[in-house]
Amino acid sequence: MQRRDLLAAAAGGVAAIAGCSDDDGGNADASIRGETLTLTTTTSTYDTGLLDEVNAAFEDRYGVAVDAVAQGTGAALETGRAGDADVVMVHARSLEDEFMRDGYGVNRRDVMFNDFVVVGPEDDPAGIDGTEEVTDAFRAIAETGSVFVSRGDSSGTHAKERAIWDAAGIEPGGEWYRETGSGMGEVLNQANQTPGYTLADRGTYLSQRSELDVSIRVEGPIEGGPALLANPYGIVAVNPGVHETVNYDLAMSYIGFLTSQRGQTVIEEYTVEGEQLFFPETDSEDPNFEQYVPEGWTPDER
Amino acid sequence: MIETLSAVDLVARGFAPLVVDFPFERHYVESIVLVSLYVSLTAVAISTLVGLPVAMLIGFSEFRGKGVVVALINTGMGFPSVVVGLLVLFAVSNQGPLGAFDLVFTTEAMILSQFVLATPVITGVSLAAVTGIDDGVRDAARALGGTRIDVALVTIKEARYGVMTGVLAGLGRAVSEVGSVLIVGGNIASADGTSVTRTLTTAIQLEARQGRFETALVLGAILVALVLVINGIVLRFGGGRT
């Protein structure tokens, strides 16, 4: 018995010494090297190929593999709620805010933005080419009963589309309005085959443009279109206080990397066919404090 | 297994000239084929180990409610794969009963869901095969002093084509289903284009979504060729023993 205690103490001592030498080495990331981070994200970041680029750079720097699961914004957040993801990158601020208010997400940061565009056939049956306001364009599509292909999958793009219909004062429905429940790429393909109109994020549209006959009918804010079509992406860590099994430190490393100069450069330099798809949003001398908390949150509401 | 892998390698190599557009395409396609095979073959192997004894047990015994059990197995053969995926997701999710094992978005979870899908197929078809064997065969084995195990082995030997068909049908179901592996596996590939939980079926779905129909078609051709190769190998083995 005594002998066993002695052995245990010796083993503990060795472990302690080993631990010390690790710390002394100053190689802080040695402890996370080889681990895997689970990220749920939107189909738009995945299908554009941006994520592979960012994740390869992250893996280079931290030695952490990223398992990226491409879902719609709604499903990505739901996976986070269940504690099956460590970090979530999506593009629907209202849904992200709900995620944080419910206690599932912490340390939200703005990451990047691009914009939405209304895409439609060349002969433009609804006559919306160059319309100033996207709400007018949507009204014209509804009034002429031109085919509109909707994501219908509670993704960020779908949330934006619903918001535009609301702003236009129209409840879409009927033969011309097709809810597909598919990802952005599939919906663009369907709009192309039908042909019909759809709302697409510029990134996915550009990355698929060479395969499509439909083209941009209403521009987003990057090309001087209405601000309603802005498309900001945010990243949120899953709250380790709710799900103690999540890899919170890896999640924060990932958020740190994406919002670092290095990560932002990768985003800025990512192009498809010579066009920049995403625009970095974090580096600023004048940080936007609202990115850390739900929009409109004030200290008295706790 | 070794034969299967080299055959797959040949298939992948044969298609390589068609897919030179992507820098990592060759490696990408190969890793997807390997994940597909690993998941489906493992699932089917476990399903066979479970399904075959169950089929023998049910086939050789008479009990009340046997008809109901057989009906349940036959229903299971057509169970929708997305529903299985959903149920397995609930089971392996962090909140589910198997949450502690951290299985969600892993090949193990995919094996579990394909096991659930393939087992009724293998059990059902094997059951039909072993009950179709003439009673005389078993009586003869028993009369020659065979133990229960001997009798069972003789029956399996007689019913081998039926059992093989069941295993093949199970494998076919597993390797070509997309619903459950997409939900529980998450269709993950790492940034350098190595498949983690991406199978041929989920890759085809992804490529089609992104409008890369050529790649989707090539993957589809590989999937079909793969099923043909597996069929060929098993038929050959089956034929060799007659």
Q: CA B183: distance to chain centroid?
A: 17
Asked if B209's CB is within 8 angstroms of A68's CB, the reply is no
Give the residue numbers spanning the domain of A95: 3-114+232-301
Q: Does the pLDDT at position B3 exceed 60? A: no
Distance from CA of B43 to the nearest CA of A (A): 23
The answer to whether residues A212 and A145 belong to one domain is: yes
- Total structural domains in chain A? 2
Write out pLDDT tens, residues B188-207: 988 888 899 999 999 998 88
Taking the C-alpha atoms of residue A232 and residue A215, their distance in angstroms, rounded to an integer, is 22
CB B129 within 8 A of CB B58: no
Q: What is the dihedral of CA B222, B226, B227, B233, to 10 degrees?
A: 160
Residues of B with CB under 8 A from a CB of A: 93-95, 99, 102, 104-105, 186-188, 190-193, 196-197, 206, 208-212
* Cβ neighbours of residue B92 closer than 8 Å, sequence gap 6 or more: B98, B99, B101, B103, B104, B109, B112, B184
Taking the C-alpha atoms of residue B109 and residue B91, their distance in angstroms, rounded to an integer, is 9
Taking the C-alpha atoms of residue B225 and residue A82, their distance in angstroms, rounded to an integer, is 39
Domain positions in chain B are 25-238
Residue A232 to residues A43, A91, A224, B134, B161, Cα–Cα distance (Å): 15, 6, 16, 70, 59
Q: In the beta sheet, which residues pair with residue A106?
A: A237
Element (H, E) at A89: strand A87-90
Write out pLDDT tens, residues B140-153: 888 888 888 888 88
Which residue type sits at B114?
Q
Taking the C-alpha atoms of residue A175 and residue A165, their distance in angstroms, rounded to an integer, is 17
Distance from CA of B95 to the nearest CA of A (A): 6
The answer to whether residues A122 and A206 belong to one domain is: yes
Taking the C-alpha atoms of residue B44 and residue B118, their distance in angstroms, rounded to an integer, is 6
Final residue of a domain: which of A199, A229, A259? A229
Contacts 24+ apart (CB under 8 A), B152-158: B152/B56, B152/B60, B155/B56, B155/B60, B155/B130, B156/B52, B156/B56, B156/B130, B158/B133
Taking the C-alpha atoms of residue A259 and residue A166, their distance in angstroms, rounded to an integer, is 33
DSSP B172-187: HHHHH--HHHHHHH--
The answer to whether residues A175 and A187 belong to one domain is: yes
Considering the entire predicted model, what is its pTM?
Answer: 0.79
For chain A, how big is the Rg over CA atoms in Å?
23
Q: Does the pLDDT at position A15 exceed 70? A: no
**Sign of the four-CA dihedral A40, A181, B220, A189:** negative
Element (H, E) at A110: strand A105-120
Asked if B208's CB is within 8 angstroms of A186's CB, the reply is yes
Residue with the two structure tokens 């040695």? A30
Q: Does the pLDDT at position A75 exceed 80? A: yes
Residues of A with CB under 8 A from a CB of B: 38, 43, 47, 51-56, 58-59, 65-70, 82-84, 182-183, 185-186, 188-189, 207-208, 211-212, 243, 245
Residues in B closer than 8 angstroms to A54, CB to CB, are 191
Q: Does the pLDDT at position B60 exceed 60? A: yes
Among A81-85, A131-135, B2-6, B128-132, the least confident range: B2-6
CB A57 within 8 A of CB A170: no
The answer to whether residues A7 and A106 belong to one domain is: yes
Residues in B closer than 8 angstroms to A207, CB to CB, are 210
Asked if B188's CB is within 8 angstroms of A68's CB, the reply is yes
Residues in B closer than 8 angstroms to A149, CB to CB, are none
Place A301 in a pLDDT band, splitting at 50, 70 and 90.
low
The answer to whether residues A290 and A206 belong to one domain is: no
Instruction: Indicate which of A84, A119, A245, A266 best probes the interface with B, i.e. most B CBs within 10 Å of its own CB.
Output: A84
Asked if B102's CB is within 8 angstroms of A55's CB, the reply is no
The answer to whether residues A212 and A135 belong to one domain is: yes
Backbone φ and ψ for A198, nearest 5 degrees, come out as: -155, 165
Cis (ω within 30 of 0) for the bond into B23? Answer: no
Give SS3 for A60. Answer: helix
**Nearest-by-CA chain B residue for A189:** B211
Taking the C-alpha atoms of residue A204 and residue A50, their distance in angstroms, rounded to an integer, is 10
**Nearest CA-CA partner of B210 in A204, A34, A114, A170:** A204
Distance from CA of B29 to the nearest CA of A (A): 16
The answer to whether residues A291 and A259 belong to one domain is: yes
A149-159 average pLDDT score:
89
The answer to whether residues A143 and A274 belong to one domain is: no
CATH number at residue A186: 3.40.190.10
Asked if A52's CB is within 8 angstroms of B193's CB, the reply is yes
Place A89 in a pLDDT band, splitting at 50, 70 and 90.
very high
- CATH topology for the B25-238 domain: MetI-like fold (1.10.3720)
The answer to whether residues A31 and A45 belong to one domain is: yes
Q: Considering chain A, what is the average pLDDT of its residues?
A: 86
**Nearest CA-CA partner of A198 in A185, A188, A183:** A188
Write out pLDDT tens, residues A192-237: 998 999 999 998 898 888 889 999 999 999 888 899 999 999 999 9
Other beta carbons within 10 angstroms of residue A144's beta carbon come to: 12
Taking the C-alpha atoms of residue B80 and residue B76, their distance in angstroms, rounded to an integer, is 9
**Nearest-by-CA chain B residue for A66:** B190
Distance from CA of B108 to the nearest CA of A (A): 15
The answer to whether residues A20 and A104 belong to one domain is: yes
The answer to whether residues A33 and A102 belong to one domain is: yes
The answer to whether residues A162 and A133 belong to one domain is: yes
Final residue of a domain: which of A213, A229, A245? A229
B96-122 average pLDDT score:
93
Give SS3 for B195. Answer: strand
Residues in B closer than 8 angstroms to A185, CB to CB, are 209-211
* pLDDT value for B113: 96
Residues in A closer than 8 angstroms to B211, CB to CB, are 185, 188-189, 208, 211-212
B139-167 average pLDDT score:
86
Write out pLDDT tens, residues A43-60: 888 888 899 999 999 999
